[in-house]
């Protein structure tokens, strides 16, 4: 075949461009340049972090360019929707470059945006536009491990003396006695796990005389960093500052109890991991108005403590919000009493992106809208920071035909379109929710009785009554299937009562100011009430209804 000189030139140019792009990608992924803090004032209102957050899987939120994959520009274009809902914060699931091409927890570059999500410029624009609407943005930082394809690990497997070798955890021989969640966590590099995406259980066995095992808490595709190496700690501190300097409002820190392991027995939640976590919190909060929440599944309340992470998801407690709505009296009790002892820095939710935390709320309550609303009210009206999982606000169902976590991670249902759900002009990367025809943003916006309007109302109470967002938590009680509590802040005093039962229930609220007037904040048109001279209010609640009352102060005794 005769060569075409012009084509040759074009190919040569393309190859040079590709090489330059690859170089810059590699340079970024292995760039360990220190990042000094650049501290500027936060544009967010005080206490923004006690407003409701939306957990957003960018891949599934909104596609702006028709490639079927959600992206940062799609999110920026829909910030008005979040503002209208009253959302004060966004948690972005990982947006950094990654090896998995889906959830993003296998990082290949800690300082760049996944190309399918956009660019650093798109990130900057998202932050600017969110701030303009009083919305803060925090993002996942996956600190414990890298992807096995991360250039740092690919260098490290070259052996001792290679760049980044001592950034990971190695053993000459296979250490005995280890088991993490039913798996042996040491892997031999000869098994090349990066070649076995999706079939990790079929890794070849290492040769009998193999030497050179690495450690991976979450599997062979995600090797743990060596946090005993100060260079590793410094690198992550610099990477955290990289995003904070751009205006990021904080982090959701992934799997922090797994930072450092002691031995085959003492591998989970070691004291050194807590020390490292506190350092991360201090670094982040060295910037004004920043927020940190940790994923610590075993002992979340310990990590919620200001002496450790200063915020943590309330795993273990959170399913009681749903079980109460399903009519379980023990869970009604747990809803009422949790915040009598838990730190008001805990983060609550009713479902997230992980199936171990539960199915989508729609599926947990079997599509019962009354129960759905009660589950939502429980956590949206309590202390801490509530996290709505994207799509939850419209009653989006899980895609039951998909395996593992995937049923939870479908495109957001924007419209009733059966093929795209209005999420993309192209072909969505994953099937849309099975109830897209009825439970989508467009239709729920038009229906005043919808789940969306209910979420907006509950979040609105949190935004307009400061005691609900961050007041004291007192006089809590559970009686049968009714839970009640009172909140106070700066002279504001509110009472929340939820009847989870299918029968009317009459309860007596105690500890109110004598003869206090109580007007109804929810339902808005319900009659005002008055406490007796002992500060008691006897009140009958309709089935599966809640009331939020605001104390208007005691009248003078006669």
List of residues contacting Ca ion (CB under 5 A)? 63, 65, 67, 69, 71, 144, 224, 258
Joined together, the tokens standing for residue 335 give 């809803």
Helix (H) or strand (E) holding 287: none
Q: How far is the CB of 167 from Ca ion (least distance, A)?
A: 12
Q: How far is the CB of 259 from Ca ion (least distance, A)?
A: 5
Pairing assessment for the beta strands 529-530 and 492-499 based on DSSP bridges: unpaired
Q: Which CB contacts under 8 angstroms, 24+ apart, belong to 17-23?
A: none
What phi, psi does 497 have (nearest 5°)? -130, 130
Least separation, in Å, of the C-beta of 247 and Ca ion? Answer: 23
**Closest approach of Cβ 319 to Ca ion, in Å?**
27
* Minimal distance, residue 411 CB to Ca ion, in Å: 11
Q: Which is nearer to Ca ion, 239 or 444 (CB)?
A: 239
Q: For 521, phi and psi rounded to 5 degrees?
A: -90, -25
Closer residue to Ca ion in complex, CB, 68/86: 68
Nearer to Ca ion, 65 or 119 (CB): 65
Residue 215 CB, nearest distance to Ca ion (Å)? 7
**416 and 444 in contact (C-beta within 8 Å)?**
no
Would you say 31 or 67 has its CB closer to Ca ion?
A: 67
Nearer to Ca ion, 97 or 258 (CB): 258
Beta carbon of residue 262, minimum distance to Ca ion (angstroms, whole number): 11
Q: d(Cα 333, Cα 476) in Å, to the nearest integer?
A: 9
Can you tell me the distance from the alpha carbon of 449 to that of 462, in angstroms, rounded to the nearest whole number?
19
Separation of alpha carbons 78 and 118, rounded Å: 16
8 A C-beta contact, residue 49 and residue 385: yes
Please give the structure tokens belonging to residue 536.
Answer: 């008691």
335: closest CA among 290, 277, 388, 376?
Answer: 376
Q: What is the DSSP string of 467-519?
A: HHHH---EEEEEETTEEEEEEEETTEEEEEEEE-SSS-EEEEE-SPPTT-EEE
Helical H segments across 136-251, by residue range: 151-156, 230-244
Find tokens 């939020």 and name the residue.
548
Which of 63/109 has CB closer to Ca ion?
Answer: 63
Cβ–Cβ < 8 Å for 500, 324: yes
Looking at the Cβ atoms of 142 and 495, the one nearer to Ca ion is: 142
The Cα–Cα gap between 258 and 239 comes to 19
Q: Among residues 300 and 428, whose Cβ is nearest to Ca ion?
A: 428
Nearer to Ca ion, 58 or 381 (CB): 58
Least Cβ distance, residue 205 to Ca ion (angstroms): 24
Tell me whether residue 67 or residue 305 sits nearer to Ca ion (CB atom): 67
Which one, 432 or 469, has the nearer CB to Ca ion?
432
Q: Which is nearer to Ca ion, 258 or 493 (CB)?
A: 258
Closest distance to Ca ion from the beta carbon of 504 (Å): 50
CA dihedral 305, 310, 316, 318 (to 10 degrees): 130
Q: How many residues does the structure list for the chain?
A: 558
Q: How far apart are CA 86 and CA 459, in angstroms?
A: 6
Closest distance to Ca ion from the beta carbon of 70 (Å): 6
* Residue (66 or 553) nearer to Ca ion, CB: 66
For the CB of residue 168, give the shortest distance to Ca ion in the complex, in Å: 10
Closest CA to 293 of 275, 271, 315: 315
Those residues with Cβ within 8 angstroms of residue 67's Cβ, 6 or more apart along the chain or in another chain: 116, 424, 426
CB of residue 68 to Ca ion, shortest distance in Å: 7
Min CB(67)–Ca ion separation in Å: 4
Instruction: Tokens for 176, please give them.
Output: 């005995």
Measure CA 129 to chain center. 20
Q: How far is the CB of 58 from Ca ion (least distance, A)?
A: 9
Extract long-range pairs of 375-378: CB within 8 Å, 24+ residues apart: 375/321, 375/322, 375/324, 375/325, 375/350, 376/350, 376/451, 376/454, 376/455, 376/458, 377/454, 377/458, 377/498, 377/546, 378/321, 378/324, 378/325, 378/335, 378/483, 378/498
Cis, peptide link before residue 523, omega less than 30° from 0: yes
CB atoms under 10 Å from CB of 153, counted, come to 23
In this complex, which beta carbon is closest to Ca ion, that of residue 235 or of residue 338?
Answer: 235
């Amino acid at each position: 075949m005769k060569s075409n000189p012009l084509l040759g030139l074009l190919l040569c140019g393309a190859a040079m461009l590709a090489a330059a792009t690859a170089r810059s990608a590699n340079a970024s992924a292995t760039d360990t340049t220190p990042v000094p803090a650049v501290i500027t004032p936060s544009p967010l209102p005080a206490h923004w972090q006690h407003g409701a957050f939306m957990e957003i899987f960018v891949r599934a939120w909104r596609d702006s360019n028709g490639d079927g994959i959600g992206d940062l520009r799609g999110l920026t274009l829909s910030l008005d929707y979040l503002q209208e809902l009253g959302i004060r914060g966004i948690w972005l699931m990982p947006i950094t470059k990654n090896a998995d091409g889906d959830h993003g927890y296998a990082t290949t570059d800690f300082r760049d945006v996944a190309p399918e999500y956009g660019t650093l410029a798109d990130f900057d624009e998202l932050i600017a536009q969110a701030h303009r609407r009083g919305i803060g943005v925090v993002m996942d930082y996956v600190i414990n491990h890298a992807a096995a394809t991360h250039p740092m690990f690919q260098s490290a497997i070259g052996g001792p003396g290679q760049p980044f070798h001592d950034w990971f955890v190695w053993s000459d021989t296979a250490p005995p006695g280890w088991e993490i969640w039913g798996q042996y966590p040491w892997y031999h590099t000869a098994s090349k796990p990066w070649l076995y995406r999706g079939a990790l259980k079929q890794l070849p066995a290492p040769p009998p005389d193999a030497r050179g095992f690495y450690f991976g808490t979450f599997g062979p595709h995600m090797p743990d960093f060596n946090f005993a190496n100060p260079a590793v700690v410094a690198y992550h501190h610099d990477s955290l500052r990289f995003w904070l300097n751009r205006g990021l409002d904080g982090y959701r820190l992934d799997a922090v109890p797994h930072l450092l392991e002691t031995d085959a027995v003492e591998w989970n939640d070691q004291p050194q991991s807590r020390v490292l976590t506190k350092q991360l919190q201090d670094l982040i909060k060295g910037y004004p108005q920043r927020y940190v929440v940790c994923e610590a599944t075993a002992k979340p309340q310990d990590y919620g403590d200001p002496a450790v992470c200063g915020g943590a998801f309330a795993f273990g407690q959170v399913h009681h919000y749903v079980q109460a709505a399903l009519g379980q009296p023990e869970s009604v009790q747990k809803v009422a009493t949790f915040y009598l002892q838990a730190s008001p820095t805990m983060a609550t939710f009713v479902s997230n992106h992980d199936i171990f935390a539960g199915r989508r709320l729609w599926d947990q309550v079997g599509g019962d809208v009354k129960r759905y609303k009660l589950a939502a009210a429980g956590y949206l009206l309590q202390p801490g920071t509530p996290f709505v999982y994207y799509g939850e606000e419209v009653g989006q169902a899980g895609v039951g035909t998909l395996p593992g976590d995937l049923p939870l991670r479908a495109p957001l249902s924007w419209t009733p379109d059966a093929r795209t759900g209005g999420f993309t002009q192209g072909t969505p990367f994953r099937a849309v929710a099975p109830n897209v025809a009825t439970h989508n943003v467009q239709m729920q916006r038009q229906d005043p009785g919808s789940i969306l309007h209910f979420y907006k109302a509950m979040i609105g109470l949190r935004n307009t009554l400061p005691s609900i967002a961050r007041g004291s938590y007192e006089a809590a009680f559970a009686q049968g299937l009714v839970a009640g509590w009172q909140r106070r802040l700066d002279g504001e005093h509110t009472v929340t009562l939820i009847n989870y039962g299918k029968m009317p229930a009459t309860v007596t609220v105690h500890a109110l100011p004598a003869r206090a007037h109580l007007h109804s904040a929810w339902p808005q048109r319900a009659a005002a009430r008055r406490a007796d001279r002992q500060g008691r209010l006897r009140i009958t609640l309709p089935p599966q209804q809640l009331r939020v009352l605001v104390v208007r102060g005691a009248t003078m005794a006669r």
